[in-house]
Structure 1
């Protein structure tokens, strides 16, 4: 089995993605650890985090023997994609589809999950070898978009990011989500309650997922 397929299988098994946006390198690292401690194992360190590639490298080295999968988010060009990959990122996520990023990821057999908000963008992503697309912004598209998407393209896998909450996660899953990305919901109480609040929020999502799967 290929490295790309192995990573995709692990990402889907983990299912929850923590979209990490730190105001500093240290904060990005600490949020990532706190989310993992709470049970979210796919860690998407965004390039809006200062020195994001150093956060990726530190996590990739420290958690090399664990089930954490470190990746990069908010990747806007192929240069950033290559920097992330060379610093241990095992998957690349962008807010929109970019053919040059897709080609860079194909060279390194790294999964590329581009942000798509239309059928046209999804089609372009599939043509470039993407196996999973990020539905973004998820809050604007809504859970029903997956059903609409699967009408003409039933084989495409989709991960909503943005707009995923404890209240609607089951609806997203019921409509066919391949995985879900969680961002600000993890850090909403961090200013007052510190990184423990990130762990608590991550645990709420992990417990909710376990309950859904148990049904």
Structure 2
């Protein structure tokens, strides 16, 4: 009986050791899987917003990204989805630069759709998407060039928008002056002068907003050989013999 007790105690210690090793391996695998998941990102549509999510410190699951820098907080804040965009294709990214480039591709597409739209608020939406694209730090060189072009197109769109507002204001001013004349303003001479002045400005504005005519072809420089005129139909070309 005394000899069997040490053997039983040894088996118990071995079982405890094996159990601890297995638990340690499970813990290491759990930690490694959690660390890998924490380094992954994805884009998700959540309650009408495009949200950048980062993996939890668990083998599975994502949560909204958390960053310390203020400029990055603005870059990765939820973005309202444009009208008609209810879903976004979900894709997992292993690097934050890949997230930036995928996010910029979405923003650029949405902004360009608004450049040619005549709906109210199109400029404001396009400007929002361009500004958000400017905040992303991981853009490729090609995307930075595209961003520069988008900023130029946005400036053109803003110029057209401001011109449209000028025309509306001129028409409203003309209507007010004409109403003053109809109601018998005591400043009759000033009213007539302003009506004539605003009508002139409206004509100038309408002429200035017309699409420019194509430029005429430049005249050939003096002394340049001109193309020979084609002979009249039915007239034979002179034949030369050597």
Q: Which TM-score applies when normalising by structure 1?
A: 0.22
Q: Structure with the greater relative contact order (CA < 8 A, sep ≥ 6): 1 or 2?
A: 1
Q: Which TM-score applies when normalising by structure 2?
A: 0.20
Which structure dedicates a bigger proportion of its chain to helix? 2
